[in-house]
Every structure is written in structure tokens, then in C-alpha cells.
A and B are shown apart, each in its own frame.
Chain A
Amino acid sequence: MRLSHITKRFGANVAVDDVSLDFAPGEIVGLVGENGAGKTTLMSIAAGELAADEGTIEDPVPVGIVHQHFLLVSEFTIAENLALAMWGRDAGEIIRESGIELRDVSRRVADLSVGEKAKLELIKAIARRPRVLILDEPTSVLAPTEARELFDVMRRLAATGTTVIFISHKIPEVLEVATRIVVMRRGRIVVDGGTMSATELAEAMVERRSDSPVRPLVNTPRHVSSRPGSAGRTGESDLRFHPGEIVAIIGVAGNGQSELALSLRDSLRGRVAHIPEDRARDGLVAEMTIAENIALADRHWRPRAAAERAAALIERFNIRAQSPLQRAGSLSGGNQQKVILARELERHPEIIIAAEPTRGLDIEATSFVHDELRDAAARGAAILLITSDLDEAFALGDAIHVIYRGALSPRLTPEEAAVRAPQLMAGVA
């Protein structure tokens, strides 16, 4: 089977950008990349669940896909769920043939462990005897021993000539099981090869805007006091950041960054600014005006005063809006981000938690956001920058932590991080 020049757009967003890929029988392909890189979209197209805007699938073969989210009827038993998938065949026989262990088919799916549900999904897919089997993040819900079992099943299937495609962002797993590794970034394939080291793989996955190694730090002298701005605890290391300092947290997406930001939102008190990672969902109330959004956390609400203040901020932050009474949802992504920034920084926060503050922004908007964060630090704010953009981390961070599987590395200087970050991000240090 061969995917030829596949392109898929969602609105203005290009999810898959002119991708060609072919699969040979017996391969275990590790398809890796960050969230939003286009892996799942590409595979849904390969499985025929989604139509491509451009491009064709040549020599199509039966494709099975196991989604990250279970498609099971939880009120039904294992046997009933299998009957839905393969009517008329004996459930026990289907399971035996798949080579996966799952006992007692009369149990209700609702009572199964997550690992068992994952197995059941896999059994359903294998029962249809696909020539290409796609597994979307199958190990994210599995315990390590269950993951081992899954890898054995994958190898057995490959040995019988099935192509197994394994979507993941867990580097050690991919290195362990894949015979071929394909890395996607921003809808394109950036690496397609056999063996790679963990470091090479980590570097390929994480975005770098320029090829220059580490940019020299632009550090204006800052007042640094010894009073800790805040202390949170994630995994093994303490997280401390001080007034006037920017601490960057880097890592491959999905290693606990979102959970960290969420726990800080719910635990920190005082003048704290939050720039949420998921701008579309958490950033602004799309149905309300810019002025209303900016005034959300204010003590008072006076429409006219708020509109005047919003107009001033629109001017200062160079937001492209017609009026402060424009609906926030009608602004472009970059301008929405500036509204969030305007609202959060206007409070003169003591602590700023900025998650992916420049994701999806153009160069001009990015450097604007960076300048604002630097200025805020210069005014004495303690800033925690959670980012998957290494350049951003090195350009802004006075200190760097690497986050891997929910645990933070010790605090590193940027120089140390430049050397050690790739291994730490890959979990091989």
C-alpha cells in the first residue's frame, strides 16, 4: 500500500501537507511526532475514515485501526461487543485466534481494566484480518507489563506479514519495537529511516525554528531576590522560580506539561497570570467582547470604562481589532493571544505561568510576546515558561528544567541544558 501526495486541511489549518509514504509487509513502523503533528489525521486517511483533500491511496489493502479512545459499548459484555464487530462467530474463538489473552467473555466492558479494554479493541481489529494494522497511542493507557505483551503481539503479527503502524510519542518504546521510524512535524514527514538514537529522535520531534545551536542569552541585569516566587512539586524535583527570573520547562508534549499548568492554576494564590496552552478552549470567551474578556477578573465592571481601557490595550499591544466591542471569537489566533496577554499582564502579576505562549504565532507576534515576557520579568515577575519550542526556552530562560513522564529534571543552566536536554527529553539520561 502506498500513500501518494496526501494533503488534508481543516479550515485554514493544514493538518497533513503533501505526504507520501509506502508500507512493506512485515514492517513495524513507529510513527512519531508531537500533538498536532498530523499523525492521527494521516492514519485516519490511510484507514479510509477520512477523505484526503488531495492525493491518492495506491494499491489499497484492508486496513484496521485501533483508536486512542475506545469504541466499545460499556454496558455490553466482551462477547456482545465482539458480536457487534464480527456477527456470528464465537467470541472465545476470536480471542484465541488473535493470540491475546483475555479471560471470561461474559464480563461487562464497564468492569474491565483500561488495559483489558485496550486488548479487546485490539482483538476486534485483528479479527478482521487487516493487512495493515494501525495502533494510535496504544500504550498511553497500559501498564509497562501490558505494553510488553502488546509489543509481543505486534511482533507476531509482523512475522505473519502484517504491516503494523504504531503511533506514539514515547521515544523508548518506539526505539524498542519499531523496525522503521517515521517522524512527522507540522503535517510533514521530516525523517523516515531505520535506526536512530534516542537523542536524534528527540531532536527530530521537537521543533527548532532556526538551525543555530544555542543563541547567546540576552540577559538584562535584573533584580533577583532570594525569596522564592513559588514552589510546586511535580514528580521528583522541586520547582522554584524567583522574582525577576524566567524558568523554562521543556520536553516532548504529553509528558505532564498540561497537568503541571493545571495544578499550578488551581494551587497558586495571589496575583498570578495564566496563559493557557489551549487557546481556543481556555483562552477567551469567544461569544463575549474584547472589553468583557479583558475585564473578566476585575473587581468592577463599568462598560464604558472597560471599553476605554480595552481600546488603550488594543493600541498598546497592537491588536488588530476594529473596536473593543468586537467579539473575541472573531479575532485571529495571534490577536486572541495578544488579548490574553494584555489581560493577564495588565494585572502586574507577581507570578506568570505561560504555557506555549507563542504556538502558532507568526514571527512578529512571537517576538512581541517574548519582549512582553522579558519586560514583565524585568519588572520583577517570576515567570514559568512551559514550552515545546527549544529556541524559545533558550532565548528566554534563565534556568531550564526538562519534564519527562511527569517528573522534572534538576534545575539546569542554559549551558548545561544545551548539552543534556536531548537525552533528558528522551528519557535516556
Chain B
Amino acid sequence: MRARQLLIAVLAAFSAVALLALSGLAFGHGELLSILISGSVGSTFALEGTLLKSIPLLLTGLSVAIAFRAGVWNIGGEGQFLAGAMGAFLGARYGMIAALAASLIAGALWASIASALRLWRNAPEVLTTILLNFIAIHLLGYAVNGPLQEASGKYPQSDLASASLPAIGELHLGVVIAVLAAIGAWFLLYRTAEGLRLRASGFNRSAAKWAGVNVNAQLVRAMAISGAMAGLAGGIELLGVTHRLFERFAAGYGYAGIAVALLAQLHPLGTIASSLFFGALTTGAGELQRTAGISSTVATFGQAIVILVTIVFTRRKIA
């Protein structure tokens, strides 16, 4: 089973790269693959970029992995990411630690709205989380045009956050936090009784219930932890990279987390490798745009291929 999962992951990643390279050839850009590689891992600068992109992807990937493991279809990583970033911005005036804590709490609370709607009205979280994304995007838009707009009032963006993550060059502490989060998520899922019950609820809700597991509590908890991870991703992105809020802050990290988690076969430690892959793809795609004039959205093309290949070959039901 493990071997099969690894095989699917390798196949999915390989297909994405191969299809990108082939379509490059087909449209007269034979250099696509080499730019993709040199632009993502070809230099220290490129590697740094890849690592920086991997941090939010790792955390949103963990967010999705935990939720999907529990059978909770949280598609709201994008909104929780924004909620976390806004939380971190507000918390930053009390220091970096407070900012990170605020991002966790904001993400968890934003995701828990979906849990509340599920328990109250049995509203499917696939729908509610995605709708909450739109609300979060507009909330951010309002914030950076209103109460949180920079003092000069010139652009729709906030002032610099009052705290930031310590960094060496461009590379900030977020790398360590994200890897610790992955190990923590693995420990939670595979080394605690709560994780066992969470996974059981995801596989077979009914059998878990008969065995005495409080399934609803598992769903609420999984959603909150999942939201906290996505929120932390937003907080770290704010404190480590952008340092201010602006309208298009999320840039698809929440949705990309789904591809990251699926490529990792929903395994927290696998998510580390899979986030590096997507980090490299995104960074390489940026280089494509700069040097070859190919839109960097080809990275989303790669994500789509990974998701499709994984779904086709995975026996486990996904949504």
C-alpha cells in the first residue's frame, strides 16, 4: 500500500513536469524545461525562492491533509489564509509571537464558521468553506481600503506590520515553523488517540460511531486545526515575506494546498516533499514569465495535472 502511494505520487509529479515540457515543445518553447529547472533549483537565489514559496504551501498542504484525513472537505484554505494574515497584522503590535498566535486563532475561527453551519444546519463544508473564501477576500479588500489602509492613504494596502520574523537573507524563520508543524501534524495523526479517532472518522464515520467515537467532535476539531494551519501560513507569509496586507494577498496558496496534500497522499511528512516540488514549480514558472514571456500561470496547469493523476489512481474516495 505504501509503495503504491509513493508510486502514484512520483507518477503524478512526473506527469506534471513531462506534460509541461511537452506543451512547451508543442508551442515552440523547447527551452521551457531547462528554464523551469534552472529557475527553481539552478542557483542559490533560485533555491531560496523555492524554499520561500514552499513554506506557505507546506502549511496549507498540512491544512488540507488533516481535514481530508478526517473526511472534512475543507476547500477554504484561501479564506483561512487571509483570516490568518489579518489576524497576524493586528496581533503584530504585541510582538511576533502574539502575531503568530493570532494567525492560528483567526484561521481556526474562520474555518469553524463552516463547522458551526454543519452542526447547526448540516450545510456541506465543501460549499460553506469555498463561500467563506469569497467573504474573506472582500473583507481584506475592505480592510486595506478602509480601517487598515496605510497612513498616507495612497494605495489599497496596509502599513508595514509592526513585527516580522527573524531572517537570514531572505530566508525567514517560517521554514523551521512549517517543518515543525509538519512533524506535529504527523504526531497528532499517527501517535495520539485523538489522531486515531480522527482518521477513523474520515475512513468510516459509521463504524467509528459504533466504536464509541464522538464523530462530530472529531469533525469540529479537524476543521479547527486545519484552519489554524492555513491561518498560520497566512501569518507567516505576512510576517516573513510581504510585511503588509494588500488586495491580492492570498495568490492561490489556499487552493494550491489541495494539490500539495493530494500529491503527498495526505501524509504530513510527505507534504514536506510535495510542497518543495510545488514551490519549485511556482518559482520556475516565475522565471519562465521573466525570461521567456510564458505566463507564470502554467504552474496552476501543473497543479491540475497532479490532482487529476492522483484522483484517477487513488482508490480512497476523495469528496
Chain A residues engaging chain B, CB cutoff 8 angstroms? 265, 272, 274, 276, 281-288, 292-293, 295-303, 327, 343
Q: List B contacts of A302 (CB < 8 A).
A: 191
Compute how far the CA of A200 lies from the CA of B319 in the bound complex, rounded to whole angstroms. Answer: 49
CB within 8 A of B211: which of A281, A286, A296, A303? A296
Contacts A285-B200, A287-B204, A288-B203 given: A274-B193 contact, CB under 8 Å?
A: no
CB within 8 A of B207: which of A265, A284, A298? A284
B191 touching A286, Cβ below 8 Å: no
How would you classify the secondary structure of chain B's contact residues: helix, strand, loop or mixed? helix
Compute how far the CA of A287 lies from the CA of B1 in the bound complex, rounded to whole angstroms. Answer: 11
Contacts A292-B200, A296-B212, A297-B212 given: A285-B195 contact, CB under 8 Å?
A: no
CB within 8 A of B206: which of A272, A282, A287, A300? A282
A301 touching B193, Cβ below 8 Å: yes
Q: When A and B form their complex, which 3 residue pairs have the shortest distance between CB atoms, in order from nearest?
A: A301-B193, A297-B212, A296-B211
CB nearest neighbor in B for A295: B196
B192 touching A301, Cβ below 8 Å: yes
CB nearest neighbor in B for A328: B207
User: Can you report 21 residue pairs joining A to B where beta carbons are below 8 Å apart?
Assistant: A272-B212, A274-B210, A276-B207, A281-B207, A284-B207, A285-B203, A285-B207, A288-B199, A288-B203, A292-B199, A292-B200, A295-B193, A296-B196, A296-B208, A296-B213, A299-B193, A301-B191, A301-B192, A301-B195, A303-B191, A343-B211
B316 within 8 A of A: yes
Contacts A301-B191, A301-B192, A301-B193 given: A265-B200 contact, CB under 8 Å?
A: no
A276 touching B210, Cβ below 8 Å: yes
Q: List B contacts of A276 (CB < 8 A).
A: 207, 210
B197 within 8 A of A: yes
Compute how far the CA of A303 lies from the CA of B190 in the bound complex, rounded to whole angstroms. Answer: 8
Q: List A contacts of B200 (CB < 8 A).
A: 285, 288, 292-293, 296
Compute how far the CA of A300 lies from the CA of B196 in the bound complex, rounded to whole angstroms. Answer: 10
Contacts A300-B193, A301-B195 given: A287-B211 contact, CB under 8 Å?
A: no
Q: List A contacts of B211 (CB < 8 A).
A: 274, 293, 296-297, 343
Q: List A contacts of B193 (CB < 8 A).
A: 295, 298-301
Chain B residues engaging chain A, CB cutoff 8 angstroms? 1, 190-193, 195-197, 199-200, 203-204, 206-213, 316
Compute how far the CA of A59 lies from the CA of B211 in the bound complex, rounded to whole angstroms. Answer: 51
Compute how far the CA of A272 lies from the CA of B1 in the bound complex, rounded to whole angstroms. Answer: 34
**How far is the CB of B167 from the nearest CB of chain A, in Å?**
38
CB nearest neighbor in A for B315: A287
**How far is the CB of B191 from the nearest CB of chain A, in Å?**
7
A282 touching B196, Cβ below 8 Å: no
Compute how far the CA of A300 lies from the CA of B210 in the bound complex, rounded to whole angstroms. Answer: 19
Q: List A contacts of B213 (CB < 8 A).
A: 296-297
| Interface-centre pick from B1, B192, B210, B316 (highest chain A CB count, 10 A) | B210
Q: List B contacts of A285 (CB < 8 A).
A: 200, 203-204, 207-208
| Interface-centre pick from A285, A288, A303, A327 (highest chain B CB count, 10 A) | A285
Compute how far the CA of A91 lies from the CA of B36 in the bound complex, rounded to whole angstroms. Answer: 65
CB nearest neighbor in B for A283: B207
**How far is the CB of B199 from the nearest CB of chain A, in Å?**
7
Q: List B contacts of A281 (CB < 8 A).
A: 204, 206-207
Q: List A contacts of B206 (CB < 8 A).
A: 281-282
Contacts A265-B210, A282-B210, A301-B192 given: A296-B197 contact, CB under 8 Å?
A: yes
CB nearest neighbor in B for A271: B212
Q: List A contacts of B207 (CB < 8 A).
A: 276, 281-285
**How far is the CB of A332 from the nearest CB of chain B, in Å?**
17
CB nearest neighbor in A for B199: A288
Compute how far the CA of A281 lies from the CA of B208 in the bound complex, rounded to whole angstroms. Answer: 10
Compute how far the CA of A283 lies from the CA of B207 in the bound complex, rounded to whole angstroms. Answer: 5
Extra contacts, 13 of them, besides A281-B207, A282-B210, A301-B192 (Cβ < 8 A), are A272-B212, A274-B212, A281-B206, A283-B210, A284-B204, A285-B203, A285-B207, A287-B316, A288-B199, A296-B197, A297-B211, A301-B193, A302-B191
| Interface-centre pick from A272, A301, A327 (highest chain B CB count, 10 A) | A301
| Interface-centre pick from A292, A297, A327 (highest chain B CB count, 10 A) | A297
Q: List B contacts of A327 (CB < 8 A).
A: 1
**How far is the CB of B198 from the nearest CB of chain A, in Å?**
11
Q: List A contacts of B203 (CB < 8 A).
A: 285-288
CB within 8 A of A292: which of B192, B196, B316? B196
**How far is the CB of B184 from the nearest CB of chain A, in Å?**
16
Compute how far the CA of A293 lies from the CA of B195 in the bound complex, rounded to whole angstroms. Answer: 13
CB nearest neighbor in A for B206: A282
Compute how far the CA of A267 lies from the CA of B143 in the bound complex, rounded to whole angstroms. Answer: 48
CB nearest neighbor in B for A261: B210
Q: List A contacts of B190 (CB < 8 A).
A: 303
A286 touching B204, Cβ below 8 Å: yes
Compute how far the CA of A327 lies from the CA of B213 in the bound complex, rounded to whole angstroms. Answer: 20
Q: List B contacts of A303 (CB < 8 A).
A: 190-191
Q: List B contacts of A300 (CB < 8 A).
A: 193
Q: List B contacts of A293 (CB < 8 A).
A: 200, 211
CB nearest neighbor in A for B212: A297
CB nearest neighbor in A for B200: A285
CB nearest neighbor in A for B194: A301
Q: List A contacts of B210 (CB < 8 A).
A: 265, 274, 276, 282-283
CB nearest neighbor in A for B193: A301
Q: List B contacts of A286 (CB < 8 A).
A: 203-204
Compute how far the CA of A171 lies from the CA of B31 in the bound complex, rounded to whole angstroms. Answer: 78
CB nearest neighbor in A for B213: A296
Q: List A contacts of B197 (CB < 8 A).
A: 296
| Interface-centre pick from B203, B211, B213 (highest chain A CB count, 10 A) | B211
**How far is the CB of A408 from the nearest CB of chain B, in Å?**
22
CB nearest neighbor in B for A284: B207
Compute how far the CA of A343 lies from the CA of B211 in the bound complex, rounded to whole angstroms. Answer: 9
Q: List B contacts of A301 (CB < 8 A).
A: 191-193, 195-196
Q: List B contacts of A284 (CB < 8 A).
A: 204, 207
Q: List B contacts of A283 (CB < 8 A).
A: 207, 210
Compute how far the CA of A288 lies from the CA of B211 in the bound complex, rounded to whole angstroms. Answer: 13
